[in-house]
Structures are given as C-alpha cells and as structure tokens.
Chain A
Amino acid sequence: MSEPTTTNAADANPADRSAVTQNAAKRFFASPAGRSIGLIIALLVLVVVGAITAGDNFMNLNNLLVILRSASVIGVVAIGVTFVITAGGIDLSVGSVLGLTSVLASLGAIQTAASGFWPLMVFVAIAGGVLAGLVNGMIIAYGSVVAFMATLAMLVAARGIAELVSQRKTQIVDNQGFLNFFRSDLLGISWVVWIFAIVAALAWFLLNRTTFGRRTVAIGGNATAARLAGVNVKRHTVYLYMLSGSTAGIAATMLLSRTTAGTSTHGQLYELDAIAAVVVGGTLLVGGRGTIGGTVLGVVLFSTLTNVFIQNNLSTSVQLVAKGIIIVAAVLLQQRFANREVSAKASP
C-alpha cells in the first residue's frame, strides 16, 4: 500500500494540465458562439451540398436573398416564441394568431381606411396579435392554466375567429401603398428581409441588454427565485405572450405582402416550425437560456434546407424527413452538452 501523498504529488501536474485544456474547451462550448457551433457547421455542410449538387443556381446572391426572404416570416414568429420559451413557457397559438391578424389587417374596411396611410394595416395586425397574447398571458399568469393548454385553446379558437371574420373568404390585398412598400427594396434587399433583420436586432438587444430580458431569463431559470426576489412574474408573463402575439402580427403583414391575400388558413403549423427553429437554435425548452442568434440560424438552416431540396427537384416528403433528422440531432447534441455539465457537477 502506497503513501497517498506521494502518488498524488507524482501525477498532480499532468492532471492539472489536462484540467486546463478541458476547461478551455468547456468554456468555449458554454459560450454563445460555442453553443451555435454545431448549427454553423450544419449550415456550412448544407451550403457545400447545395453548391455541389446545384452549382451556380444555388451559389448566387439572388438565391441567398430568396433563402432569406423565405426565412423571414417564420423567423419573426420564432423570435417572439424565443422569448416565451426562454421564460419556460410555450406559445402554440402563433400560427393561428398569424392567420387571424392577416384576416383582420386585410378586411375591406381596414384597407379602405388605410388607403391614405397604409401602416394602419400593420398596426391592426400588431394590435390583434397583442390582444390575443394578452388573453393567453392573463389565462396563464392569473388563471394558472399551463401554457401548453392555454395556447392550444387559442390555437383552435383564433382559427375559428379568423374564419368567422373572413367568412372563409380569401381577402385580396389591394392597398397600393402597402403593396408598393413591400415590393420596394433597400440596397437591393427586400423590405421583408430588412424587417426580419430589424426585429432580430431589436430582440437581441431586448433579451441581452435590458431589464425586460433579464426578467425573462430569470423567470425561465427559476420562477420561484425570481418571485421571491421581488420580480413581478405574473405581469411579466403577460408581457411575454403579448410580445409573441405582436411578432405573429408583424409576420402576418409580411405574409400578406408576399401572398397579396389574407385568409384564415395562413400560418398553419407555423408554431411547430417556429418552436423547432428556436430549439434547434439552442434555446432550452425548459427555459433559462435563450439565444436570438441561434433562432435566426435555426430558421435560416431550415430555409436553406428547403432551398437545396427545391434546387435538386427533390420531393417535399424527403425534405420533411431531413428536417426531422436535423431536429433530433440538434436536441441530442444539446442533451449531450447538458449531460456533460451534470457529470462535471457530480464530480465532487
């Protein structure tokens, strides 16, 4: 039997050194850039695949703008959902709310009223979304209904309201000011893409640099602790669902401009695409950690995937399978890192 002291002195140094490199690696993977590294690699792989299989049809500036434009609507929705999920909630109603607000904003009366001032349509859409979010938030925060059920109810009900309001008719957008604005470019880039970029930048700032963002993360991290420290958790919860409703409203106007029609069927299953992008992006579904950059990457990843498939004339069915695989792979990766943290913690 050896003296414990001597054995220890002998292998202390290499152990220390490996600890240092391990810590550096751990720190990198724990940093925001590190967490997104898998996503960036996946995106790069997809770009390489696109470049090889579709060549110049894929690798040109126009196609890049096409990818971004198709990512924009779901991207704006996903950004609102990112806040809700970061706070440990879920919003299943965003797709329906998008449909409803597209109907509200494109009502004949609203379009007529907006004939001199087209942004009125945007305001109506946002107001509709905020209102739906307010109802969601009140039911969740003050009625203590779990977010999954409350927003599931809104998913169903908002679709119904949209059908009632539109009488199941497709409402053509003929407000020229509205259409002209969204058809125009800035620096050769569609306004739809600019809005996505602006919403993302504002959201990043809101989540990372403001007290609103801190409350959001705190509630997701430990709602009881936040409440006991004096944070008004209920009120903030209501704000979060209003925020997610408002981004659904913004997305509705973007979709209106692209399709030039408002209908109650807009936005079907968008909630699932949005949640998938948020989680693939690295926001934890249990709350406490959210990343706007990750969400943007997640949306762009799915949009690029669709583009590569279209360029190669592959069926959408195959595309869905690929999407499913990406989601599972991303979540598996997340869990791997989470487990690593746990075992590091367990080590004494």
Chain B
Amino acid sequence: MSTPGDPDKAASVCYVRVVIKADHPTSLLQVRGLTKSFGGAQALKGVDFDVRAGEVHCVLGQNGAGKSTLIKTLSGAHQPDKGEFVWQGQPVTITDPVAALNLGIATMYQELDVVDGLSIAENIFLGHENSAGGVVRRRATNNAARDLMTRLGHGDLSPTREVGTLSPANKQIVAMARALSHDIKLMIMDEPSAVLDSEEVNNLFRVVKDLTTQGIAVIYISHRLEEIKRVGDRITVLKDGRSQAAGLPAQTTPTRELISLMTGTDMEHVFPPRVAVADDAPVLLEVEGLAAAGVFSGVSLSVRAGEVVGLAGLVGSGRSEILETIYGERRATAGTVTLSGKVLKPGSVSAAVQNDMGLSPEERKSQGLMLEEPIYRNATLSTFTRFARGPLLDEAAERAATREQMTALELRPAEPDRITRTLSGGNQQKIMLARWLIHGTKVLLLDEPTRGVDVGARMEIYALIRDLAAKGTAIVVVSSEIDEVLGLADRVLVISDGGVVAQKASTEIDEHGVLDLVMKGSAA
C-alpha cells in the first residue's frame, strides 16, 4: 500500500527539527535515536522527539508503524536496544513500569487495565493502598479518590461504586485518576478515543486540556487525524519504526501533509464517489416496526440493491443492537425482517445466513474471528459446508476460494494458511469481508467496519464497500464516526435513545446536523 516516499529526505527533515528542539529549555522528555527489535523484526529503527511540559504531543502513525512499541519502551515494559531518554535534563533508563511511575510517567493503555470487581477508589489506589498495618484506611482512600475524580470532572461518581458497572468512558476516567494518584508529569494515552463516542470524546478532550493546564504533558497516540487537530499541540509522525517528522505544529500542518508523511501517498478524496441507485432496484431488506424491549423500538427501514444505508448515533443509542436484531442474534419483541420478499424466522442467525444476509460484527476479534486459526478457515466459516462433499471437507477448494478473494482484496501476501492473529486490523477486517464475499450475500450488515484500521487500509475498505454496493449488494453501515457514515452511505438514519429520529439522504445533512438531531432526540 504505502510506497516509501524519500526516506533520506524525511530522515534529514527529522534530524534538523530535532537539533532545533534539543535546545528548547522546557523539554520534559527527550527521546534520542531509539531502536528496538524483537527477534529478527525491527519495530523501532530510530525515533527522536521531545515532549515539553504541559503540551499535548500527538504521535501519529499507521498500524505497525511502531506506536505500541514506543509506548511500551517509554513505560518500561520493553527495554530499547539503542538510544536514550533524557528526563528533565538527566539521562535515565526506565527499567520497568514501576521505575517509569517513580519518574512520573504514567501510561493509559488501550485495553483498560481496571479491575471490574473492585470499587473506583480501590482501583485508583491499587498497588499503593493507603493503609495502616495492612488494614486499608477506607475513608481516607475514598476521600482521596473523590478528589481525584472531581479533578477529572467526574465528582458525581461515588468512590465506592463498582468499576464493572461503569461505561467504557468512565472506566477510562478511573484509569486516568489512577495515573494521577501518582505524582506524574507525563501521561501517555494509547488511542483513548477508540472506545468512545463523540460526546465522550469531547469530555476526554476537556480532561486532557485540564491536565495540561496543571503542567502535565500528554503523549496522545491516535490515528484519527481530526482528533489530533483538535487536541494536539505538536505532532510526531511515525512510519515504519522511524520518526518521519517530529514536533510539527498541530494547528497549522495541513492534513494532506500528515497523511503523506504517514502513508507515503497523498490522498485527497477520502471517500469513493457514490453511484446513484437505480429507481427500479429491488428492495432486498425490509425491516418493519422492529423492536427489542427496553433497547429500541419502532425501527423501520428498507434497503435496495446497490444502496448503502447508514445508522448514525452515539454509543448506547441502540445502533449495534438494531443490527444484531435484524440479523437474528438478538430476539425481536415486535416487528418483522423481510429478505428479498421472505419473512425471516425471528431470533435465528442461521435463517438469516441461509437467506444470504451477513454481519461483520463490532468487535472483530471477540465476535468475528478465530484468531489462532488459518486465514482460510475464517474466510470460509460460513461456507465450509458448501465446499464440503457431504460431511467431508474440501480444504483445497476453501484455500483456492480464499486466495482468490485475498488477491481481489489486495491482501498481501495471499497466504491462506497464515494464522489470522498475525494480520493487521485492516487486513483482519478484509477477512471478514472476504467471508461474506465468498458466501455471496445479498444483504451485508457492517458494524464499525474501520475500527482499529489505519488510514491507508480504511480507504481500501471504503472502496470495497462501494464496490460491493455497485455489484448489487444492499448494505447497512453502523459507525461511531459520523463522518464515516455520511461519507459512505446514500441514506442516513439518525438513531437516538433507541428510536429513529430522522431519515435523510446523506448529501442533505452534515455532522453537525446529525449531532443536533441526536441531542434533541426529536424528529426533524
């Protein structure tokens, strides 16, 4: 996908910038010539950047660019092979996560490491409990926890509340409070917005700003360019384990330049052009008055062959549940789902699949893929009985069909026997699409088709979705990124509080319009 543009030039650019910044008086952390390899694979090939006190320093890069390895080296989980850290002017080695915390570096990982069974206060002070002779001082702990939560704008959450009952966004706040319970100067956040919807992202950004006004620096890892523009002060771009550019001003660097630094290509049009749906295209999916008690109700929609319909709404609005109910994974309490004129048996995924409907679920890893199995077994999971002669598997045919799809989807190398875990997020998503391409579905439901997928692969997936529609598939897309829904879909249903509040052609509404409708929660 990405052709290395001009490495020498990029490297020298980075070199020059580093020299300039190195003399900056307020550098909190300087990273110099960091390299790290695992066995034969070199994950970091030379990373240089510096972080100033009180700034939001964004680290941008595609999947596999080395972001995770960089974080793990900074947090002491990995030791670098070469290079040095200069912390407040002193060269330091970070031997383990405890050493990082003692320096004042806290890390908030993408997989939130909170303990569901413990209370908010217990989570915050996990590992450094305030105790006397082994007995926890509950009141002091709770008060301290309340103070920290208040500092993060969530004083309303009781410190004794069990963390398992919190939303992902609030769990994140707890993880942040835990970091703050140590005396920290630098907080590393690894894709903190991945599990949040736009409203919660706003709150997160507010918290980030608060932290920086308290003088705490934040390293913010993400691949969402819009966010970085909103929250970041400076940007370091990683590509193939190297800092391609360091310390770019977030506000003034054009998006195009960032994309080209990340990918080596210059992409102007993010979404592929829509193809007008013929007026006489048959309706393939017809949903009438669908409801699931207590979750959503009165959902009606119809999708014609070649049409892409998007469901836009916040996390918890019922978007994903609507898809699951259409698919039969969740039992409808009212309403019908009709596929090509045939009413589906409610609550039966098998019936949906037999009638050529497919779902690419929200959580690719936990709901979609057998990660330890070869690619071809994932690609043919819904069709292996069709390839089989009676009860006997025909793995050769399965491999051939998979290889064909992998080639068509530009998934290289086209090795159907590779273990699925070893693929990047974007390629795993392509396997999900390949599954339904092999099946030949008439209706495809896509829940978060680009979650955890980097910019380059994102474009490819958008193009694939459009391609499928052009070939006559009826597609329903759910995404927490509203611009993605608007860019992909022909028609958008705005979902709020378990109901459809508006239905519009996606050319007639923009992101603000959708958010307005969601906030009002009333029909326009």
**For residues 289 through 348 of chain A, which have their beta carbon under 8 Å from a beta carbon of chain B?**
289, 341, 343-348
Are the CB atoms of B370 and A22 closer together than 8 Å? no
* B393 CB to nearest chain A CB (Å): 6
Known: A22-B39, A345-B422, A347-B69. A225 touches B329 (CB 8 A): no
Give A222 to B381 CA distance when docked, in angstroms. 11
Give A231 to B38 CA distance when docked, in angstroms. 38
Does B361 have its Cβ within 8 Å of any Cβ on chain A? yes
Does B37 have its Cβ within 8 Å of any Cβ on chain A? yes
Are the CB atoms of B350 and A230 closer together than 8 Å? yes
Are the CB atoms of B393 and A214 closer together than 8 Å? yes
**For residues 1 through 25 of chain A, which have their beta carbon under 8 Å from a beta carbon of chain B?**
1-5, 7-8, 15-20, 22-23
Chain B contact residues, majority secondary structure: mixed
Are the CB atoms of A15 and B37 closer together than 8 Å? yes
* B268 CB to nearest chain A CB (Å): 29
Chain B residues closer than 8 Å to A345, beta-carbon distance? 421-422
Give A214 to B373 CA distance when docked, in angstroms. 11
Interface range on chain B: under 10, 10 to 19, 20 to 34, or 35 or more?
A: 35 or more
Are the CB atoms of A225 and B385 closer together than 8 Å? no
Are the CB atoms of B385 and A211 closer together than 8 Å? yes
Does B33 have its Cβ within 8 Å of any Cβ on chain A? yes
Chain A residues closer than 8 Å to B40, beta-carbon distance? 15-20, 22-23
Does A183 have its Cβ within 8 Å of any Cβ on chain B? no
Known: A4-B46, A5-B11, A20-B40. A229 touches B353 (CB 8 A): yes
Which of the residues B46, B64, B352, B371 comes within 8 Å of A222, measured between beta carbons? Answer: B371
Chain A contact residues, majority secondary structure: helix
Chain A residues closer than 8 Å to B327, beta-carbon distance? 228
Does B49 have its Cβ within 8 Å of any Cβ on chain A? no
* A10 CB to nearest chain B CB (Å): 12
Does A212 have its Cβ within 8 Å of any Cβ on chain B? yes
Chain A residues closer than 8 Å to B18, beta-carbon distance? 1
Of all chain B residues, the one with the shortest Cβ separation from A4 is B46
Chain A residues closer than 8 Å to B370, beta-carbon distance? 217-218, 221-222, 225-226, 288
Are the CB atoms of B369 and A222 closer together than 8 Å? yes
Give A16 to B42 CA distance when docked, in angstroms. 10
Chain B residues closer than 8 Å to A213, beta-carbon distance? 393
Chain B residues closer than 8 Å to A19, beta-carbon distance? 39-41
Does A224 have its Cβ within 8 Å of any Cβ on chain B? yes
The total number of A-B Cβ pairs within 8 Å is 134
Are the CB atoms of B373 and A288 closer together than 8 Å? yes
Chain A residues closer than 8 Å to B37, beta-carbon distance? 15
Known: A212-B391, A221-B373. A348 touches B66 (CB 8 A): yes
Does A210 have its Cβ within 8 Å of any Cβ on chain B? yes
Chain A residues closer than 8 Å to B371, beta-carbon distance? 221-222
Chain B residues closer than 8 Å to A17, beta-carbon distance? 40
**For residues 360 through 386 of chain B, which have their beta carbon under 8 Å from a beta carbon of chain A?**
361, 366-373, 377-378, 381-382, 384-385
Known: A211-B393, A218-B381. A228 touches B39 (CB 8 A): no
Q: Which of A19, A212, A228, A341 has the most CB of B within 10 A?
A: A228
Give A15 to B43 CA distance when docked, in angstroms. 12
Q: Which of B33, B39, B353, B367 has the most CB of A within 10 A?
A: B39
Are the CB atoms of A230 and B349 closer together than 8 Å? yes
Known: A211-B384, A230-B382. A5 touches B7 (CB 8 A): yes
Chain B residues closer than 8 Å to A2, beta-carbon distance? 33
Apart from A211-B393, A229-B381, A344-B39, list 5 A-B contacts with CB within 8 A. Answer: A3-B11, A8-B45, A18-B40, A213-B393, A348-B68
Top-5 shortest CB links A-B: A19-B40, A4-B46, A230-B353, A221-B370, A347-B38
* B interface residues with partner A (beta carbon < 8 Å): 7-8, 11, 15, 18, 32-33, 35, 37-43, 45-46, 48, 64-66, 68-69, 72, 82, 241-242, 327, 329, 349-350, 352-354, 359, 361, 366-373, 377-378, 381-382, 384-385, 388, 391-393, 419, 421-422, 435
